[in-house]
Chain A
């Protein structure tokens, strides 16, 4: 198990993960990070505005940066111009 912190940075400010949590491995942490980003963005969608300028950093208890996931990498957005008209 790895004890890691998932720190969020986006337009509303920084939200450091002071407590952290246990993850099976880095892949598990990445999957949880992506799920977290998507849940934050889904709440923004419900409020009518989505801001993709954010990232989530995975760090260990010593503060070493292990990975960064940007919001744009957590979501596949299909632009409206890509819709084929019938």
Chain B
């Protein structure tokens, strides 16, 4: 199997799914052949997760990190009254909670926005790799820094941008991220998220989001369907959202999958 991501094809073996993560790490870190082999040999328990339950609950002690293999996963923060907000979105190839290796009691929940497949990687196996290979430890650290950078950008968007700019920025970000795993299509990206969850991630009501999406549709900028975003004018989208990909740290320019 080639390492580009086809959302309709499941990886055949745990080596294939770990290759998704290796691909993400190697976007920003240099690893040797021995280090690559060590990552591809990690133990992985493959699980199917539904949209009805958190597969990692807030406060739960965990002994594994979750690699997203297929689908889309949201990270939620929660108020004392139970109200929740999406603070991150994770696509295939993301290790959604790599930070849990050093902070076992998690303060975020993980929840699939569409039926998804994850691979549970034991913390101890990840720790052992970092003890044996400093370059892998550095790559993991680098990977956590990328997630932190995205979170900081989201905070800026929520505090300083209007509704249209927030939507445009997120669509631009997801276009770059899906492109990096080879999932950019000629006219858009897979983005299986309900309007309610999308509004949540953007700090908007779904009614307000609906009005923005209608404007984008009418101006032939982008069209959101239940499973994807069709992007017709990526430069306009980036301009509206004041999108600068520097915070994504070394992702290549988006190219449609061949």
Contact = CB atoms under 8 A, between A and B. Distances in A.
Interface string A8-41: 1000111111010100000000001101110110
Given A35-B205, A46-B162, A21 B194 contact: yes
Contacts, number: 50
Interface residues of A, dominant DSSP: mixed
B208 A39 contact: yes
B226 interface: yes
Contact of B210 (A8, A37, A46): A8
B214 A56 contact: no
Nearest to A40: B208
B206 interface: yes
A69 B195 CA distance: 21
B239 interface: no
B204 interface: yes
B195 A8 contact: no
Interface residues of B, number: 14
B205 A32 contact: yes
A12 B214 CA distance: 10
Contacts of B214: 13-16
A43 B163 CA distance: 8
Contacts of B204: 39
A36 B205 contact: yes
Contacts of A8: 207, 210-211
Given A6-B206, A21-B206, A40 B195 contact: no
Given A19-B195, A21-B195, A39 B207 contact: yes
B207 A19 contact: no
Given A21-B195, A21-B196, A43-B162, A12 B211 contact: yes
Given A39-B207, A39-B208, A43-B208, 8 more contacts: A6-B206, A8-B207, A15-B210, A19-B195, A32-B207, A35-B205, A40-B205, A43-B162
Interface of B: 162-163, 194-196, 204-208, 210-211, 214, 226
